[in-house]
Amino acid sequence: MNLLRTRAVARKEFLHIVRDPRSLALALGLPLILLLLFGHALTLDVDQIPTLIYDSDKSPQSRELGRLFQGSKYFQVLGWVDRYEAIERKIDSDDCLLGVVVPRDYSRKLLSGEEAEVQLLLDGSDSNTASIALGYAESMLQAYALELRSAALNRKGAGQLTPPVEPRLRVWYNSELKSRNYIVPGLIAVILMIIAALLTSLTIAREWEMGTMEQLLSTPLRPAELVLGKLTAFFSLGLIDMTVAVVVGVFIFHVPLRGNAFFLFFTACIFLFGALCWGIMLSAVTRSQLLAYQLGMLSSFLPAFILSGFIYSIENMPVIIRMVTHIFPARYFVTILKGIFLKGVGMQVLWDEVAFLVVFAGIVFFLATRKLRQKLA
């Protein structure tokens, strides 16, 4: 390993990047744009659920039930209607998610101590949102029913009704249950994987298409020196992107950074090295910028977005898909980022994930240098 030759290749790549301002602007600006776009637009929080109320009882008790939905932060009451067709029309046009129907005998049954029924109509097109909305409505109605029963017993002199079990909840790590705190750290891994793989997937293929690869291979330059030299320039860009992403996540999206920042950047360096080597290997195998770009996008964006646990829970996937996710480094880096940001854990907890990233980076670096060692064959 000759450091002078490695530095010469790195200098060549730095000059190429600087002389191409569009690529430089893309490499530095795209992560910021993606982070701001996805951070603001992508949310798993379900609140302000569009709701219509059909009150066919028109009693003080039914109006009190309607005010219960109006006072909740999870529901946005769009108005009161006088027939089922109005709710159906709004649900069909995607203007309403939940319809609350109060029957005519609601107040009579309530005052006589009978079981009063309330109908909930849900748009199940988005099953996840509908399930969450149904859970909110059922929890609120159960709490309201317990309050009414307790008040009725108190009026009869039977004392206060207390539930047999009183849950006392304590949410760790994300006490406000904001999906942004969960999404933004994982988004950093997705962005770095895409940028790293796409930037380096073109570098070796460009040399082949321009006819300069033969000249490089005819020099004393070794494959490892060529890979490390080309990787150094893009590694610097990746660290800048990582810094920008962390700053945006902490100071703009207010995601808590509870762990060690040095450990965060240490693991990011390992992940970046592996992702960059993966792009160089694709570039060396294909020898075509177009094909390398397509393979880089296919092997970086889709696995990082779908199979990393960034949004979709890996535990809920089929067994075969869960087994496939183990081969993608983004899965492990997403776990590391969420552990550092939200839980404040370190190497003693995340050493499995760090070890996999090290092994992955070593294997891909070996495969990239081995492919370049074949010279012109």
Query: What is the per-residue pLDDT for 317?
Result: 85
The share of the chain scoring above pLDDT 70, in percent, equals: 88
Residue 169 in domain: no
Predicted confidence (pLDDT) at residue 157 exceeds the cutoff of 70: no
Mean pLDDT of the chain: 82
Cα angle at 173 between 243 and 312, to 5 degrees? 75
Q: Which residue has the higher pLDDT, 164 or 309?
A: 309
**pLDDT attached to residue 183:** 84
Label residue 146 by pLDDT band (50, 70, 90): confident
Q: Which CATH number belongs to the domain containing residue 92 in this structure?
A: 3.40.1710.10
Structural domain includes residue 167: no
166 domain-assigned: no
Section 236-252 average pLDDT = 88
Contact 17, 206 (CB under 8 A): no
Same domain flag for 119 and 80:
yes
In a domain, residue 172? The reply is no
Name the more confident of 243 and 47: 243
The residue ranking higher by pLDDT, 216 or 232, is 232
Asked whether residue 377 carries a pLDDT value surpassing 50, the answer given is no
Same domain, residue pair 191 and 290 = yes
Q: Is residue 160 part of a domain?
A: no
- 66 occurs within a structural domain: yes
Measure the CA angle with vertex 215, ends 213 and 220; round to 5°: 105
Residue 51, φ and ψ in degrees, nearest 5: -135, 140
Q: How far apart are CA 158 and CA 211, in angstroms?
A: 92
Phi/psi zone of residue 345: left (φ > 0), alpha (ψ -120 to 50 degrees), beta? beta
**Distance linking the first and last C-alpha atoms of the chain:** 23
Q: Is residue 65 located within the same domain as residue 12?
A: no
Q: Output DSSP code: residue 266.
A: H
Contact predicate 322/330, CB 8 Å: no
CA dihedral for 217, 218, 224, 229, sign (positive or negative): negative
Question: pLDDT (tens digit, 9 = 90+) per residue, 183-198?
Answer: 888 888 888 887 777 7
Domain identity same for 122 and 252: no
Residue 361 vs residue 282, higher pLDDT: 361
Q: Could you tell me the two tokens for 118? A: 């309330």
pLDDT of 13 strictly over 80: no
Q: How far apart are CA 69 and CA 96, in angstroms?
A: 14
Domain count, the chain: 2
Looking at the fold, whether 201 and 302 belong to one and the same domain comes out as: yes
C-alpha distance from residue 73 to each of 39, 138, 196, 204 (Å): 22, 15, 41, 55
Is 236 inside any structural domain?
A: yes
55 in a structural domain: yes
What average pLDDT does this structure show over 42-70? Answer: 85
Whether residues 262 and 293 share a domain: the answer is yes
Contact 296, 201 (CB under 8 A): yes
* Statement to judge: residues 34 and 97 lie in one domain: no
Residues 148 and 207 in one domain: no
Pair 52, 97: CB distance under 8 Å: no
Question: What is the DSSP track for 151-173?
Answer: HHHHHTT------S--------S
pLDDT at residue 156, rounded to an integer: 64
Same domain, 21 and 91: no
Using the Cα atoms of residue 144, residue 146, residue 149 and residue 154 in order, give the sign of their dihedral: negative
For residues 62 and 129, state if they share a domain: yes
Task: Determine if residue 162 is left, alpha or beta; phi over 0 gives left, psi from -120 to 50 gives alpha, anything else beta.
Answer: beta
- Which neighbouring-strand residues pair with 200? none
CA distance 334 to 181: 13
pLDDT at 158 over 60: no
Are 205 and 292 in contact by the 8 Å Cβ rule? The answer is yes
118 and 24 assigned to the same domain: no
**Residue range(s) defining the domain that contains residue 368:** 3-43+178-372
| Residue of 68, 33, 26 lying closest to 51 (CA atoms) | 68
**Distance between CA 10 and CA 207 in Å, rounded?**
14
User: Which of residues 146 and 80 earns the better pLDDT score?
Assistant: 80
Please give the radius of gyration of the chain, using alpha carbons only, rounded to the nearest integer: 29
**Beta strand 98-102 with 49-55: parallel, antiparallel or unpaired?**
parallel
> How far apart, in whole angstroms, are the C-alpha atoms of residue 312 and residue 250?
23
Q: Are 318 and 237 in contact (CB under 8 A)?
A: no
Distance CA 319, CA 360 (A): 22
289 and 349 in a single domain? The answer is: yes
Instruction: Give the angle 55-60-62 at the CA atoms, nearest 5°.
Output: 30
Predicted local distance difference test score (pLDDT) of residue 376: 43
Average pLDDT over residues 323-347: 90
Run of H or E residues at 210: helix 203-210
- Express each pLDDT in 163-216 by its tens digit: 667 677 777 887 777 778 888 888 888 888 877 777 777 666 666 666 666 666
User: Which range (197-211, 217-231, 345-359) has the least confidence?
Assistant: 197-211
Specify the residue for token string 């100071």.
251
